[in-house]
Amino acid sequence: MWYCNSKGADDVLIARDVQHIKRRDIVLKRELGEGAFGKVFLAECYNLSPTNDKMLVAVKALKDPTLAARKDFQREAELLTNLQHEHIVKFYGVCGDGDPLIMVFEYMKHGDLNKFLRAHGPDAMILVDGQPRQAKGELGLSQMLHIASQIASGMVYLASQHFVHRDLATRNCLVGANLLVKIGDFGMSRDVYSTDYYRVGGHTMLPIRWMPPESIMYRKFTTESDVWSFGVILWEIFTYGKQPWFQLSNTEVIECITQGRVLERPRVCPKEVYDIMLGCWQREPQQRLNIKEIYKILHALGKATPIYLDILG
């Protein structure tokens, strides 16, 4: 988990206590995915809410933790407890004693946004009677704008809490029913999407394709560098989940970004939306759009009739 509080831990306004969930109240059902720190499972959780006696949840399990991993886990649980917003994945609590360490989150039934975009793009195929067929249900412009403005809304909240995320990308967002999208980073997407990260020195893996020049060159991460990453998220949405700079190697990407090249406008992207991307990719962090402005523009575009948006221009 990369959340960091740029003002220092003392400035978190409401410090809620981490909720403890009993191990016997969690019944694992199946694996949802695997990451650098452990596995994610679909599970049933009993006695979580006064209205439902059992609920579907997603649990992150950390097996055989070292002392340092236990500390990170505790810190992450405290941060997550204090981040509550309709576009941040809901964190219910932990089983923090014994092994494995478990974190309990709301279950988002369509999984991560990158997979979702690919499954709803022009290249998506499904098997019908064992034969590959074109999957229907390609995302339209208004759905793409809806997805983007929900992520922007979550980011407005993170910025208001002085949290710098550092790893915003569609693989770290989750999709629930009715196209509800939330920022839901478990900090363990690294294994599944290992080609999205670049190893520098020992264990540090950096999502360089989503990073602005100042983060690549000086490891400077700020609310403005998160805005740059949001521009890349927009590009991912409008390419149905393509990897940014997919045609380039990691070292070529570093060269390209530090020299000031930016991603091209996707084929289905209106000029108005590409202008937002360009506003996120200003070299000077202070010149970038701020996330509140971005949210407002996207929200307004989402309301405009698609016919007024300039897809060809």
Known binding-site residues for Mg(2+) equal: 172, 185
- Is 129 assigned a catalytic role? no
Nearest distance in Å: CB 270, ligand AMP: 29
Exposed e or buried b for every residue in 135-156, given b needs 16+ CB within 10 A?
beeebebeebbbbbbbbbbbbb
Nearest distance in Å: CB 313, ligand AMP: 36
Catalytic-role residue among 17, 64, 167, 275: 167
For 86, other C-beta atoms within 10 Å of its C-beta total: 11
DSSP secondary structure code for residue 242 in this structure:
P
End-to-end CA distance of the chain: 40
Nearest distance in Å: CB 179, ligand AMP: 15
CA nearest to 211, candidates 273, 167, 251, 176: 167
| Cβ distance to ligand AMP smaller for residue 45 or 280 | 45
Nearest distance in Å: CB 250, ligand AMP: 20
Which amino acid type is present at position 30?
R
The length of the chain, given as a count of residues: 313
Q: Which residues are annotated as a binding site?
A: 33-40, 60, 106-112, 171-172, 185
| Cβ distance to ligand AMP smaller for residue 41 or 157 | 41
Q: Report d(CA 63, CA 117) in Å as an integer.
A: 31
| Cβ distance to ligand AMP smaller for residue 40 or 152 | 40
| Cβ distance to ligand AMP smaller for residue 184 or 231 | 184
Q: Which residues are annotated as a binding site for ATP?
A: 33-40, 60, 106-112, 171
Interacting residue ranges for ligand AMP, rule: CB under 6 A: 32-33, 35, 40, 58, 89, 105, 107-108, 111-112, 174, 184, 186, 188-189, 192
Of all residues in this chain, which one has the CB nearest to ligand AMP in the complex? Answer: 33
Q: Where are the beta strands (DSSP E) in 111-176?
A: 125-128, 131-134, 163-164, 173-175
CA nearest to 222, candidates 15, 5, 1, 21: 5
Catalytic residue numbers, as ranges = 167
